[in-house]
Amino acid sequence: MKTKNIILGLTGSIAAYKACELINLFRKDGFCVTCLLTKEAKEFITSLTLETLSGNKVVEDMFALPENRTPLHTSLAEKADIIVICPATANIIGKLASGICDDILSCTVFSAKAPVLIAPAMNDCMYNHKIVQKNISILKELGYKFAGPIKGRLACGHTAIGHLADTATIFKESKKLLR
């Protein structure tokens, strides 16, 4: 049986540390995980941590030359069985809904035929903003799947919607899409 390839995209949220738990769940179940970091994600988590947990090189630069000399985002997209964006900020949700591909994560998503699971994490005011909700609706209409967010403690200290879904839930939803 072929090993399933997970592309895990991380964006600039304090919840980025939770991706470490998710990587462990994927690896424990025998999946291959390749992490893609946006510029903003690097403010919250290091490549060294993600490479150590995933066992694979972390991709940060869209213009880095891949080993096979094909465009990096398309070679990543071709091998993806699923793309999981965890955590997903309002920024990446807006980019995807608007067709903006200006980083390795958005370019890979737009090049892939694999299902995409988005796990939002942001302040409740941001999450409930009409534009963010419209962008989520657009993505859902296009077939993108979402896990969360849930009500929980936010970085600002409030308890409200916008907290990243439990990693077990994200893992379970990912596995459903891999069938």
Which CATH number does the domain housing residue 10 bear? 3.40.50.1950
More confident residue, 119 or 160: 119
Catalytic annotation present for 86: no
Nearest of 32, 16, 36, 13 to residue 105 by alpha carbon: 36
Calpha distance 4→152 (Å, rounded): 31
Q: Which residues pair with 120 in a beta bridge?
A: 88
- Structural domain total, the chain: 1
Each residue of 114-128: pLDDT tens digit? Answer: 999 999 999 998 999
Domain containing residue 104:
5-177
Query: How does residue 79 score in pLDDT terms, banded at 50, 70 and 90?
Result: confident
Each residue of 97-109: pLDDT tens digit? Answer: 999 999 989 999 9
Regarding pTM above 0.75, the answer is yes
3-state secondary structure of 99: coil
Exactly one of 20, 35, 107, 156 is catalytic; which is it?
A: 156
Calpha distance 20→47 (Å, rounded): 11
